[in-house]
Structure 1
Amino acid sequence: MTELLLKYFRDKQQKAETEKIYDSQCPYCSMQCKMQLVEQKVVSRKTYKTIGKDNPTSEGRLCIKGLNAHQHALHKDRIKQPLMKVNGEFVTVSWEVALEQIKENFKKIQQQDGLDALSVYGSASITNEEAYLLGKFARVGLQTKHIDYNGRLCMGAAATGANQTFGVDRGFTNTIKEIPNTRCIILAGTNIAECQPTIMPYFERAKENGAYIIAIDPRETATTKLADMHLKNKPGSDVALANGLLKVIIENNLVDQAFIQDRTNGFEEVRELVTSIELEETAQLTGLTVEQIKQAATAFGQETSGMIFTARGIEQQINGTAAVRCFINILLATGKIGKTNSGFGAVTGQGNGQGAREHGQKSDQLPGYRSIENDEHREYIANVWGVNAQDLPRKGVSAYEMFEEIEQQKISGMFVMCSNPVVSNPNANFVKKALEQLKYLVVVDMFVSETAKLADIILPASSYLEDEGTMTNVEGRVMLREASFPLPGEVRHDWQIICDIAKALGKEQYFPYQSAEDIFEELRVASRGGRADYYGITYNRIRKEDGVLWPCPDPNESGTDRLFENSFAHEDGKAKMAAISHKLKIPKPIPSDAYPLFLTTGRVMSHYLTGEQTRKSPSLAARNIEAFMEVHPDTGLKYNLKESMLVKVESKQGSIVVRTKWSTTIRKDTVFVPFHWTESQNVNRLVSDELDPHCKMPGFKVSTVKISPVNR
């Protein structure tokens, strides 16, 4: 027995000497699952594996992406020192040389073309500290109005719709813990099973508890299979569908009159509009039956509690803001918000899609969800930053519109941080040509992405394993990503890179930070009193409480679990309902003889965004090695296609070549292509540059195309 005990302790000690554990968070979706990287030394070789760590949101779960995320962070192709383009080829240079080149070229552009000729393109994958600092860098370091970020392509419609209706935007109005206890759920344009897999158990528990689940999606997905009812509507018909559902609810007296009277404005206008609609017309527009619309509306309206979740399916359209507001109308009319187990959820896409849009990366925004056009807001932030309010630029333009301004020669230099706009933007061919037109392009990334290939300087970014900072997840919980893995080579943190460039430009007095926590302490003050108030949140508190839900204005009070229990965020405390006709004069693609089919885009579980990171993970790349076009067999045969053959997909904007994938569950008038691939498989080459007039969201989810076999 003694020998066995000695062996046990020897083995335990040996394991401790050869094993290291690094805490982090998944770099991918908005669940921000906590994880640990386990490093083991076997002889002279190190091996790695990722395990989940318990936390209030994902409860220790990881999906296939999270389990293999470390593979891209440890990939041999990581950029580990600055690269400069010389005679068309990238060569390694020192940080000193890179920073000097950036200083000279940025100053030259501003002297020749003006301060606003420089622009900043940010990211929803960076930390709150870095998003905050990037906004400050644009307005104080560069003194340009031109800053926006890739969240415009993701959360723009949901954020704008919530702000217009509620007066504030936090993705979920309730905590994630309330989902299992609600009685009816509408999932509008969200494929959570593939996009946010670790949230699925909450909806599965809801179903086990008797909740009725309605899914709205032109395709059958792993998410719609969970639903009790699947409304397979035509792409782009979501405003019409939401109005039809509300018509049935009102006419069957399933509204909450007391809530409407006490807590909302605009109901009479909405009632007048939707009751004038003929359900037969709604059925024709949506491709559904009148009975389906009635059944879904009655199921939601008659229950005592309910939640509506929206995502890119209804939001990434040129009337996406309108669609979001129409679905929120249903919640308000039935009084299902601000109450236990009832509320709204915008299912955030990118890892820090929530936090990155709160603290100054948007062209019209200052930290704390303040407006850059509001003089009081400008004065407050100017005081925090130690500058004159009159020296702060006014608002610029949205992400895609910056590329249009490049073409118009209003912008001649750009700083891109942790984003790949050549692949992710609509009308992608145009975006590439615009970037090629720039006088100077600096890209911060981990790899030589399609955008980085066009750069004059590439600066090496740190990964999720190495870069400490806060992230705000899908339910508005501010979490601290502990990251202690050693930086490889000459890699620097994103916040350090911003500070280094600011110093090179002579603005070091405004960027004196020595750590991510230093930046967060300033962010707390900058957000104080704003709609997104983080003042009561500290690193120590996040560690102690495992995350804090904002708003949290007081360090001695708890965060806010449920919004709008007593009032909304507008001055009068009421929500603003919106009467929006499906006949809005917004241009939208309609199938024609030339382009007879709808095209919609989306994700697959094993890849993320432009795929630049996930394709560096062999375990993920092997699951989906190429893009595909999902098409109904009857439609495929009509256009002389066979399963698994190469097909040319064309729109007015361009063409791609992908392989067919038969699906008997997709609508016959619709094809689907995922957006994680580049070059000849980049589906965003087919997407129009028309934008939502309110949030400037491109219409990724509704295009019209024609299809034909490649080898005819």
Structure 2
Amino acid sequence: MTEALLKYFRTKEQEVKSEKRYDSQCPYCSMQCKMQLVEQSIVTRKKYITIGKDNPTSEGRLCVKGMNAHQHAFHKERLKYPMVKVNGEFVRVSWEEALNHIKENFTKIQTESGQNALAVYGSASITNEEAYLLGKFARVALKTKYIDYNGRLCMSAAASAANQTFGLDRGFTNSLAEISSTRCIILAGTNIAECQPTIMPYFERAKENGAYIIAIDPRETATTKIADLHLKPKPGTDAVLANGILKVIVEENYVDEKFVQDRVNGFKDVKEYVLSFSLEEIEKITGVPIPLIRRAAVRFGKEETGMIFTARGVEQHTNGSMTVRNFLNILVSTGKIGKPNCGYGAITGQGNGQGAREHGQKADQLPGYRSIENEEHRNYVASIWGIDQDDLPRKGVSAYEMMEKIDEGEIKGLFLMCSNPTVSHPNAHFVKEAMKKLNFLVAVDLFISETASLADVILPASSYLEDEGTMTNLEGRVTLREASFPCPGEAKHDWQIICELARVLGKEEYFSFSSAEEIFSELRTASRGGTADYYGITYERLRKEGGILWPCPETDHSGTKRLFETSFAHVDGKAAMVVVPNIPEIPKEQLCDEFPLYLTTGRVMSHYLTGVQTRKSPALAARNIEPFMEIHPGTAAKFQIQDQSLVKIESRRGSVVVRSKWSETIRHDTIFVPFHWADSQNINLLVSKELDPECKMPGFKVSAVKVSPIVDFFN
């Protein structure tokens, strides 16, 4: 009887069970893994799981963040309605009330203080269409020069270095598929095993095929464990280490003389410089032993093929741009670029870190990676937008410099889209206090983040499950994110919010779009002929082909899998090498008696950026419930720090309290803290406001600090 009843109930369950599937892409890292949300309805209950879908980049793989991404989209704290702050509390209002309130305040600010009293702060997590539209909104609807985005804190050093060296910045100069066949790989400051886990199989295949992997990182990570050689430089000395490698390459005759002669400028000056110092100097500055420097240089130099990959570890410095340029000096001098299984890869951080900077969110850029200061570029984009070139603003300032403009009172109103600058910026206490000075702040977000809590108006945005559009992954491959899950409550897509706001501001004629595909059609034309040419890419092609590598100038063009095969993108067709002096980063952040340790920051696998989304996912939050300080046991003993105890970390800018975590694999002079937490555990409170002069990247990776135990009064 029991078996019969069980069989009966199983049959009934199948009768009432239904399943729906929704295609999308992961909202997190730059691999942009394809996925499906599977919704199973059983009687009155719904169950959700996420599965991977085959694609040219991640081949159907998902990491732990992707598998649990849907949890934040369904979180009970998800914003569903527009809200206005009244007497310090958020009150639900209609869309028209919210939009008219914004119009009234934006108009008042610009009437009283000028067009540039308003600013726009964007995101590298939004789609290409929305990034394009946001840049257009700032310059056409608001007519302000002040627009920048959070990608400035992520990819600016690599972007500026690639532009200066090659004349063009695309995440990878070739495709991911070539990694497995290369003979030597340098991973400089990149912990891909935790930051982009689904890329790891490419490097594992390369190793299986006999590739020699060199990792550069002051700490041992899941990524350095696959390396054949691990170099541990002092934080901030990566550029100097690259000079040491270059010196050996030159002295041991591993330079590709013909390639350099035919296709490179500046090599002579670099050669003279690297011959002018000794390896003993390099060892003293970096802390890396000479035999290891030689081993890395000889192995990379002698192999027929090789690739170099950089990420935030060598980029998030006040000399980050020049550091990357020095690694590119290594690549170019050995001729390992523009050839099969050779090239450079900037491991992009945010999901659309590549595309978001190509189409107008950066202070100095217009769509297609055009320059806002170039008259020809200005004229072309103005003609596409239907405005007079003279009405197009000039360049503004970088993201952190916008915070300084807010503090000074020059910027009085801010339109903030999908970003959390009070947590993500260096000198975070200053940034938060500056944001409080704004006369009017509008935040577009999924949740009331630490920054959104300061807003006067919050507008509810759609998530990755609901918002269709294109994204450009770390390769430079444009993909189409299908998204058809219904928006909760009254949430709208970011592009719809921009269009609605433009309407109430009287600029509807420039923003009369009814779909993401319509916006992409205009983006294609606006990018045509630019460095990042998307003209030949269409939604139809993306659905059919699964992704296309730009530049793609015509609809019958297959996309560009390998850049620089015959020439570089500079006017003369040559790459540009440059001398990078042996000067460690930020003299003010060198160690001293008061601040005897280097602080460096980074990620953990289960969290993303400032944690606004991942901390709303129970499966991810449970893996890392709090930040920690990784410290060598020998160093811990010196400062009386017990394992798993609370410890105070202080820099010249402030202090935080976190829990200690002993690790024998980190340098004795360095501590590591992840940056995904806010408030009193926001490690960016300790980071300097100093910026890279080339790209305005903050120096997140080097801060001089001291540590001390928190006294336990209960023992």
Quote the residue 2:459 is aligned against: 459
Partners of 2:536 and 2:380 lie apart in 1 by: 18
Deviation per residue, 1:635-682 (Å, 9 max, x gap): 111111101111000001111000000000100000000000001110
Is 1:192–1:199's contact at 8 Å kept on the other side of the alignment? yes
Is 1:31–1:199's contact at 8 Å kept on the other side of the alignment? yes
Quote the residue 1:137 is aligned against: 137
Partners of 1:282 and 1:339 lie apart in 2 by: 31
Quote the residue 2:511 is aligned against: 511
Give the AA of the match of 1:651.
S
Partners of 1:586 and 1:601 lie apart in 2 by: 16
Q: CA separation of 1:96/1:341 partners in 2, compared to 1, >3 Å: closer, same or farther?
A: same
Quote the residue 2:633 is aligned against: 633
| SS at 1:321 equivalent | helix
Partners of 1:710 and 1:454 lie apart in 2 by: 31
Is 2:17–2:43's contact at 8 Å kept on the other side of the alignment? no
Is 1:123–1:149's contact at 8 Å kept on the other side of the alignment? yes
Residue 275 (structure 1) shift: 1.1
Q: CA separation of 1:247/1:335 partners in 2, compared to 1, >3 Å: closer, same or farther?
A: same
Residue 587 (structure 1) shift: 4.5
Quote the residue 1:3 is aligned against: none
| SS at 2:589 equivalent | coil
| SS at 1:464 equivalent | coil
Quote the residue 1:318 is aligned against: 318
Quote the residue 2:233 is aligned against: 233
Partners of 2:588 and 2:153 lie apart in 1 by: 17
Residue 247 (structure 1) shift: 0.4
Give the AA of the match of 2:60.
G
**Mapping of 1:166-177 within 5 angstroms?**
166-177=166-177
Q: Does 1:686 align with 2:686?
A: yes
| SS at 2:259 equivalent | helix
Partners of 1:115 and 1:593 lie apart in 2 by: 49
Partners of 1:503 and 1:237 lie apart in 2 by: 51
| SS at 1:659 equivalent | strand
Residue 15 (structure 1) shift: 7.5
Is 2:248–2:297's contact at 8 Å kept on the other side of the alignment? yes
Give the AA of the match of 1:545.
E
Partners of 1:11 and 1:562 lie apart in 2 by: 55
**Mapping of 1:580-619 within 5 angstroms?**
580-583=580-583, 587=587, 589-619=589-619
Quote the residue 1:218 is aligned against: 218
Is 2:317–2:585's contact at 8 Å kept on the other side of the alignment? no
Q: CA separation of 1:586/1:706 partners in 2, compared to 1, >3 Å: closer, same or farther?
A: closer
Residue 73 (structure 1) shift: 0.4
Q: Does 1:51 align with 2:48?
A: no
Quote the residue 2:362 is aligned against: 362
Q: CA separation of 1:14/1:521 partners in 2, compared to 1, >3 Å: closer, same or farther?
A: farther
Quote the residue 1:94 is aligned against: 94
Q: CA separation of 1:356/1:443 partners in 2, compared to 1, >3 Å: closer, same or farther?
A: same
Partners of 1:64 and 1:118 lie apart in 2 by: 39
Give the AA of the match of 1:67.
M
Give the AA of the match of 2:307.
M
| SS at 2:108 equivalent | helix
Quote the residue 1:673 is aligned against: 673
**Mapping of 1:35-50 within 5 angstroms?**
35-50=35-50
Residue 580 (structure 1) shift: 1.2
| SS at 2:609 equivalent | coil
Give the AA of the match of 1:614.
T
With structure 2 as the length reference, what TM-score do the two structures score? Answer: 0.97
Give the AA of the match of 1:478.
V
| SS at 1:268 equivalent | helix
Quote the residue 2:274 is aligned against: 274
Give the AA of the match of 1:163.
N
Partners of 1:414 and 1:403 lie apart in 2 by: 10
Quote the residue 2:80 is aligned against: 80
**Stretches of structure 2 lacking an aligned partner (at least 5 in a row):** 1-6
Q: CA separation of 1:695/1:12 partners in 2, compared to 1, >3 Å: closer, same or farther?
A: farther
Residue 74 (structure 1) shift: 0.6
Partners of 1:311 and 1:620 lie apart in 2 by: 23
With structure 1 as the length reference, what TM-score do the two structures score? Answer: 0.98
Q: Does 1:478 align with 2:478?
A: yes
Deviation per residue, 1:377-403 (Å, 9 max, x gap): 000000000000000000000000001
Is 1:589–1:702's contact at 8 Å kept on the other side of the alignment? yes
Give the AA of the match of 2:649.
V
Partners of 2:558 and 2:546 lie apart in 1 by: 12
Quote the residue 1:661 is aligned against: 661
Is 2:568–2:575's contact at 8 Å kept on the other side of the alignment? yes
| SS at 2:708 equivalent | strand
Deviation per residue, 1:17-46 (Å, 9 max, x gap): 610000000000000000000000111010
Quote the residue 1:4 is aligned against: none
Partners of 2:124 and 2:315 lie apart in 1 by: 17
Deviation per residue, 1:568-589 (Å, 9 max, x gap): 0000000000111123896451
Quote the residue 2:3 is aligned against: none
Deviation per residue, 1:432-483 (Å, 9 max, x gap): 0010000000000000000000000000010000000000001110000000
**Mapping of 1:376-415 within 5 angstroms?**
376-415=376-415
Quote the residue 1:247 is aligned against: 247
Partners of 1:585 and 1:270 lie apart in 2 by: 20
Give the AA of the match of 1:304.
E
| SS at 1:484 equivalent | coil
| SS at 1:271 equivalent | helix
| SS at 2:583 equivalent | coil
Quote the residue 1:160 is aligned against: 160
Quote the residue 2:711 is aligned against: 711
Quote the residue 1:290 is aligned against: 290
Quote the residue 2:304 is aligned against: 304
Residue 12 (structure 1) shift: 13
Partners of 1:342 and 1:192 lie apart in 2 by: 19
Partners of 2:439 and 2:14 lie apart in 1 by: 57
Deviation per residue, 1:133-174 (Å, 9 max, x gap): 000000001000000000000000000000000001001001
Is 1:318–1:588's contact at 8 Å kept on the other side of the alignment? no
Is 2:81–2:459's contact at 8 Å kept on the other side of the alignment? yes
Is 2:359–2:367's contact at 8 Å kept on the other side of the alignment? yes
Quote the residue 2:436 is aligned against: 436
Is 1:124–1:352's contact at 8 Å kept on the other side of the alignment? yes
Q: CA separation of 1:580/1:527 partners in 2, compared to 1, >3 Å: closer, same or farther?
A: same
Residue 557 (structure 1) shift: 1.3
**Stretches of structure 1 lacking an aligned partner (at least 5 in a row):** 1-6
**Mapping of 1:553-564 within 5 angstroms?**
553-564=553-564
Partners of 1:360 and 1:50 lie apart in 2 by: 33
Partners of 2:207 and 2:614 lie apart in 1 by: 32
Is 1:244–1:277's contact at 8 Å kept on the other side of the alignment? no
Deviates more, 1:689-698 or 1:270-279: 270-279
Q: CA separation of 1:585/1:226 partners in 2, compared to 1, >3 Å: closer, same or farther?
A: closer
Partners of 1:351 and 1:585 lie apart in 2 by: 29
Partners of 1:124 and 1:539 lie apart in 2 by: 21
Partners of 1:46 and 1:103 lie apart in 2 by: 41
| SS at 1:478 equivalent | strand
Q: CA separation of 1:11/1:296 partners in 2, compared to 1, >3 Å: closer, same or farther?
A: farther
Is 2:654–2:686's contact at 8 Å kept on the other side of the alignment? yes
| SS at 1:458 equivalent | strand
Q: Does 1:490 align with 2:479?
A: no
Is 2:527–2:534's contact at 8 Å kept on the other side of the alignment? yes
**Which 4+ runs in 1 deviate beyond 4 A?**
10-17, 584-588
Partners of 2:291 and 2:331 lie apart in 1 by: 21
Q: CA separation of 1:50/1:391 partners in 2, compared to 1, >3 Å: closer, same or farther?
A: same
Give the AA of the match of 2:120.
V
Residue 83 (structure 1) shift: 1.0
- Number of residue-to-residue matches in the alignment: 704
| SS at 1:294 equivalent | helix
Quote the residue 1:528 is aligned against: 528
Partners of 2:328 and 2:586 lie apart in 1 by: 20
Is 2:318–2:697's contact at 8 Å kept on the other side of the alignment? yes
Give the AA of the match of 1:48.
Y
Give the AA of the match of 2:611.
G
Residue 11 (structure 1) shift: 7.7
Partners of 1:211 and 1:298 lie apart in 2 by: 14
Residue 352 (structure 1) shift: 0.2
Quote the residue 2:701 is aligned against: 701
Give the AA of the match of 2:239.
V
Deviation per residue, 1:241-273 (Å, 9 max, x gap): 001100000100011000000111000000011
Partners of 1:228 and 1:123 lie apart in 2 by: 37
